[in-house]
Amino acid sequence: MSEVNILGVVGAGPMGAGIAQIGLTSGLDVILFDLSPDARAKAGKDIKGRITRLVEKGMLPDGSTETMMARLTLASDLAAFAPAQAVVEAIIERLEPKQKLFADLEAIVAPDAILATNTSSLSVAAIAAHCTHKERVCGLHFFNPVPLMKLVEVITAPGTSAAIAERATALSKAIDKVPVTVKDGPGFLVNLQGRAYAQEGLAIVQEGVAEPVVIDRIMRDAAGFRMGPFELMDLTGIDVNYAASTYIYEGYQHDPRLKTTTLHALMAAAGRFGRKTGQGFFSYAAEAIGFPASPEATASPPEIKPALGEAAPEFEALAERAGWEQGNDVTLIAPIGEDCATACARLGLDPNTTVAIDFTAFAADHLTVMAAVGGRSTAESVADWLRSKGLWVEVIGDSPGFVLQRMLAMVANLGCELAQIGVGTPRDIDIAMKLAQNYPKGPIEWGEWLGIAKTHLIMQQLQAITGSDRYRPSLWLRRRAQLGLSLYEVG
């Protein structure tokens, strides 16, 4: 058997109903089961309503509602799945009920039928533990809302056969999804990779480098992310992302690169879950909605005559933009992966009059500046001067790698680690994060964009300065940086 014409779905909640809907709109016969008659009835009504709206918008042909609903069976017993060539489970996210369900289904469906779980976090191998034929169990992890989100993670457990993985991939394409093949493990691909973006933002706040609103602005305005890490955590729910972070950290044997922060735990304990509670890292009271824009120049910004503490190619372009004259008002540096204090000590510069500039997003007219201990007022003056030249400038506390360098390098480094341990291919890692999380570039793309050698240097500097293996470079990144190869180079 290779083609799926009859799709079974267990669970009539939002995920199950969404999977059933895309099965119908893709031309399949669908059997939808739920223990609750009310849930079945509601799912049927909701599916019909959504298909009708698609017809009204001209996105489906006239008459589609009737023809598609005629292919939907609302089943009251698992025995109805006997003719199904594939069954997708979307029930409660608990291991024991899923294990029992799969063992029951195995005795009902054909020997070559696909059995797939839509779990977002539980091990596929563990779900298949009570099955006799584990080779036909895989994961098909859809994202909510199912009809709109294009990505499907096709998850292969150690016992999943290559033939089942291929058929599950073909099924995903047949229902108009973009499949990526993912190795079974905590967080699969998307939830695992997403730890870097959120948790490095948390680490930066906990270090006192910048407030959440500043970090979010930098990631949106300088890097093009649709949401900053804190706005995103507030949207998904801090209770949800803290639990996921803890589960993944424990599942990967406490790898420091996946460790979250005390701040994260405190927010979860305080019940400040984000939008769902009206208060997270930001307030969602009606009068508080909205995020402050980047500061603009004051009415009378200073005219600064800087000296350069160290050569950097970007300073020539900045000098042309700012039209500065050489002087000794301040000393400007452009460190890679260093904090200002470390650079001042290395170069023998006065920390009170030295300001570090991050040029990572200079092409987008965005700069970040910082100074060593005691130099904040100097950094503020430089920022105001640069704003008067038409640049967007953020001021942060001293930090190795500023904000943007370390955030992007951490995203890229974790992507490299996923490639190294075989969670997914470099290109699948990029596709998954762009489709599921709206990343403007995939993790591997960010490493290439920053520069592979530069990304590796940022990670090395972060590890050396902080003394933390949180910033340990992935061997995938290290070897390709050493050999001058692309991060997409495999083998």
Hey, which residues are catalytic here?
120, 141, 153, 191
Residues 6+ apart with CB under 8 A from 225: 197, 219, 438, 439, 440
Which CA distances in Å does 353 have to 305, 312, 402, 474?
12, 18, 18, 36
DSSP string, 451-462: -HHHHHHHHHHH
Please state, in angstroms and rounded to a whole number, the distance separating the CA atoms of residues 16 and 24. 12
Which CA distances in Å does 403 have to 265, 363, 470, 491?
22, 17, 16, 33
Residue of 187, 198, 99, 138 lying closest to 421 (CA atoms): 187
Query: In the block, which residue shows the tokens 């990304």?
Result: 455
Contact between 14 and 20 (Cβ < 8 Å): no
Q: State both tokens at 294.
A: 């980047």
Residue of 357, 365, 428, 369 lying closest to 394 (CA atoms): 369
Q: State both tokens at 405.
A: 């360098």
What distance separates the 2 farthest-apart alpha carbons in the chain?
83
Contact between 301 and 385 (Cβ < 8 Å): yes
Please state, in angstroms and rounded to a whole number, the distance separating the CA atoms of residues 8 and 28. 10
